[in-house]
Structures are given as structure tokens and as C-alpha cells.
Amino acid sequence: MVEKELRIEKLTNGFRNGSRETVLQENISAFLHPGDLVCLLGPNGAGKSTLMRTLSGFHQPLSGKISFSGKNLESMSLKARAREVAVVFTGQINDPFLTAFEVVSMGRFPYASFYGRLKKSDLEEVENTLNLLHVAHLKDKTFYQLSDGEKQKMLLARALVQDTPFLFLDEPVAFIDSPGKIEIMEWLSHFAHEQNKGILITTHDIELALDYADRLWLMNREKPLQKGIPEDLVLNGVINQYFDRERVVFDPRKGRFGSGNKPDRQVVYVKGDQVEMQWLCRAFTRMGKEVRKATAGKSVIYYSFDTDHFVLSRKDKEDVILSTIEEVMKREMDY
């Protein structure tokens, strides 16, 4: 039994237009193993979608080799590919009558009879997957009427019933609200770890990728593909190199991007680290102030649990008690 894996060897990716070649990345070598959720991260125009299209056999690489479990992608029939990898693309499906159930059951087409009739076991698999993702109640709705999050879950279900060791998803969390994004990422992580799927997704969302990816592939037009687990790539500063712009830098403490330090900022002193204080600090940072932990003898702001209010405690003056962050901000700006 050959080990299941996607192997990329010395791949050069790009476009050929007549005799002119536009190279996006050169000399990519990487593996995707079952059980791993890999996020392909990179700024817009880095060639993430093109690489994904190349890996699923839709786009001819300029050179190099792609193989699934020891079989060369180029020499695999379309039918064999359909049993190796299921793909979720971006883009709308606007058919006016196609139901969610019909969309999901298309994932069973590689296993259907010539006339397209699905066996009872196929239909059961579709039902089970819909139940698993908690979308069974939506199955008879027209696909285009579903919300973006529901659509994405149906497309994920369609890819799952295709029953392949590998899943590729292009921008699965774009255009979805935050709780919906987390839900999708939780499912992807679940299917990688519990059902031993090898999952590759593209995304812009670095914070989400850092939270959920087992491995990151970082992409950039100028630099070679970097691979590694998210935590290492944060600590060795590689993330910065791939995304930083002037004024936007990655903050390794917070695990997210922010505007870099501005000089000559006014300092505000705070005490305590309750949720309320964290949000207050956030608001100050946004207003361009520097937040520091209080030292003795300074005016300080803290949150009082006795009164459920923010307290501005100033030397030689009476304390000011305020109930909302907006009021605190207004007060502080006046000074």
C-alpha cells in the first residue's frame, strides 16, 4: 500500500502566453499529508489560486512534478483525479432551481451509474454528511437562496461526500461573517484530524490561519515558498517578511497585524487586566495613545467591580466615575 500523500517536486508555476512565460513561483517543493490542515497564505496576486488550480490539474505548470500517492497527476485520468481530490472553488452558482441537496449529491457523481442514478448508499452518505454539518434542514432549499455561510457548508458537504483523501478549498472563509468563519475552520480542522483528510485552503485571513492551520505555506511573488508550523513562522519573523507593509506590521504578542508604533505618543496609565480594561486599552491604542501599566504617583484609570464603572483616579483631585468607554475617551481627550 502506497502512502497517501500529495508531493510537489521542483514545481515552477505561472502562465505561458505564446513563447513568453510569466513565472509566479519557482522551484516549489512541498508535501501534503492526510491529517494536516494546511493554509496557503499570501497577499493578493501572489498566485495562491493559480497554485491550487495547478495542484488540482486545471492548470499546466511550467515545469516540475505533482503526484498523488505515488501517481503522477499528469498521467492520471480525470476520473482517477476525482477520487483523489475534491475541490471547492470560489464563484457563484446561480441556477434558479438547483437545490442544496442536488448540489451536495453531485459529489457522488464519480460513483454513479451511467444515467446518473445514485444508489441508496450514496443518498445515505449525502444525508449523513448533511446531518453531521447540521444543515440537513436546508437541503430542499434552492442553493442560491442560502446565506454565504450556508452555501459554503453545502459546498464543503459536497466535497466530503466525494470521499477523497484530499480536499482543496479556495478562499472558503471569504465573504462569511466572523462566527461563520470560525465554524468553517473548526469543521476543516475536525475533518483533518478526525477523518484523516489532507486539507489545503487558500486564505487572506492570517489570524484565522494562525489559529487553525497545522502548517502554513507562505507565498509571495518575490520570495520562495516558506513552510512551517504557524508558531515557528511567527517567532522567527518570517510572517513579517511576507506581509509587512509600511505602517502595517505583525505584532507577535497579539498574533495579529496592526499599525506600527508612532513616535511622540501621549501616554495613558492603566491598572488591572479585566475584559473591560482590555477593551479600554484597545480603544486608546486606536486613538493613537500609548498604554502603560501604572506606576506610583501617576493618574491612573481602572475598572471598579463594586460600581461596575471605570474610575479615573488623579493625584490631588477627586475620582471621576464613568460608565462607558466613550465617556472615558472623551474625558481623556480633553486633557
Partner 1 sequence: MVSLSRHKIWFVIFFLLTIVLFLANLWFGSVLIGWERVLDVLFHPDSKDTLAEVIVNQYRLPQTITALSTGILLSLSGLILQTLFRNPLAGPSVLGISSGASLGVALVVLAGSAFGSWFSMTTLIGNLSVILAAFAGSLVVLLIIILVSSRIGNILTVLIIGIMLGYAVSAVVGVLQFFSGAEELHAYVVWGLGSFSKTTAVQSVMLLVVALAGMIVTLLFVRPLNALLMGERYARSLGFHTRRIHTLLILITGLLVSAGTAFTGPIAFLGLAVPHLARGFFKTSQHGVLVPSTVLMGASLALLCNLLARLPGTDVSLPINAVTSLVGAPVIIWVIIKGRHFKTE
* Residue number with CB closer to partner 1 (79 or 253): 79
Q: In whole angstroms, how far apart are CA 329 and each of 15, 227, 245, 264, 278?
A: 53, 43, 29, 19, 14
Q: Which residues bind partner 1 (CB under 8 A)?
A: 56, 58, 77-79, 81-83, 85-87, 89, 91, 93-98, 102-103, 106-107, 109-110, 112, 114-116, 144-145, 162
Helix (H) or strand (E) holding 327: helix 325-334
* Residue number with CB closer to partner 1 (110 or 255): 110
* Residue number with CB closer to partner 1 (102 or 276): 102
In the complex, the smallest distance separating the C-beta of residue 197 from partner 1, rounded to whole angstroms, is 16
CA distance linking residue 205 with residue 182, whole number of Å: 11
In the complex, the smallest distance separating the C-beta of residue 159 from partner 1, rounded to whole angstroms, is 9
Cα first-last separation, the chain = 73
Question: If you search the block for the grid coordinates 490631588, which residue do you land on?
Answer: 316
* Residue number with CB closer to partner 1 (77 or 295): 77
- How many residues comprise the chain? 335
Maximum alpha-carbon separation in the chain? 87
In the complex, the smallest distance separating the C-beta of residue 107 from partner 1, rounded to whole angstroms, is 8
In the complex, the smallest distance separating the C-beta of residue 40 from partner 1, rounded to whole angstroms, is 18
In the complex, the smallest distance separating the C-beta of residue 86 from partner 1, rounded to whole angstroms, is 7
Cell representation of residue 56: 488540482
* Residue number with CB closer to partner 1 (84 or 332): 84
Residue 272: how many CB atoms within 10 A of its CB?
16
In the complex, the smallest distance separating the C-beta of residue 118 from partner 1, rounded to whole angstroms, is 10
DSSP annotation of 274: S
* Residue number with CB closer to partner 1 (11 or 82): 82
Q: Which of 200, 264, 244 minimizes the C-alpha distance to 39?
A: 200
